[in-house]
A = this chain, B = another copy of it.
Amino acid sequence: MKRIADSTVRRLSVYLRYLEELEARSIATTSSDELAAHSGTTSAQVRKDLSFFGSFGKRGLGYSVPELTDRIRQILGLGREWRVVIVGAGKIGSALSNYRGFAQRGFTVVGVYDNDPRKIGKRWDAQTVRDIVELEDDARRDRPDIAVLAIPADDVQGEVDRIVRAGIRAILNFAPAQVNAPPGVTIKNVNMAMELEGLSYALSHRE
């Protein structure tokens, strides 16, 4: 399949959230106009995004909510369980795994790791914190798909390397550090410092 822009995938995620809301309210159909209004984009953009994956609508009528919901879930790969390990037994990982949409969309925490002896062995949500050095061994058994990396900025690269050695090919990185991964490993960076500095910039450059 043709390469899909990152921005397109992100918008699909937003469309999905609105479609789920419509589904909960038992609304049967919607239109590109309506989807656009609730997603902060334009109707042309919605139609273009969907067109990369097929023609899901009916001309003159719009889209069937249940059908489009299913198709987008399928496209995003949400039809299965994703096994997630949290590296860094801190507040960010905890906030993420407690988020109700997390389990709802098929993400399951199969392990929590830290390198701090004071944390190892302690209870953490429904898990017991394990020693980070055990990640590679455990991974052979647990077969995690995704690692959430939420540690302080020191030695982020070292932990990325460990995660990659453990055979995990997708990383959600909350550490404010630039990291390299081999081809075939996808990294998404969530950098709060960067976002705050973006706000600082915006506030500073107003008329």
CB-based contact A195/B172 at 8 Å: yes
Chain B min CB distance to A17 (Å): 7
Are the C-beta atoms of A76 and B172 separated by less than 8 Å? no
- Pick the residue among B39, B78, B192 that contacts A99 (CB under 8 A): B192
B197 touches A40 (CB 8 A): no
Q: How many copies does the complex hold?
A: 2
Contacting residue for A78 out of B91, B100, B197, CB 8 A: B197
Q: How far is the CA of A121 from the CA of B184 in the complex (A)?
A: 49
Residues of A within 8 A of B (CB): 1, 4, 6, 9-10, 12-14, 16-18, 38-40, 75-78, 82, 90-92, 94-96, 98-102, 105-107, 145-146, 152-153, 169-172, 176-178, 180, 184, 186, 188, 190-206
State the 3 A-B residue pairs at the shortest beta-carbon distance, nearest first.
Answer: A77-B204, A91-B95, A186-B202
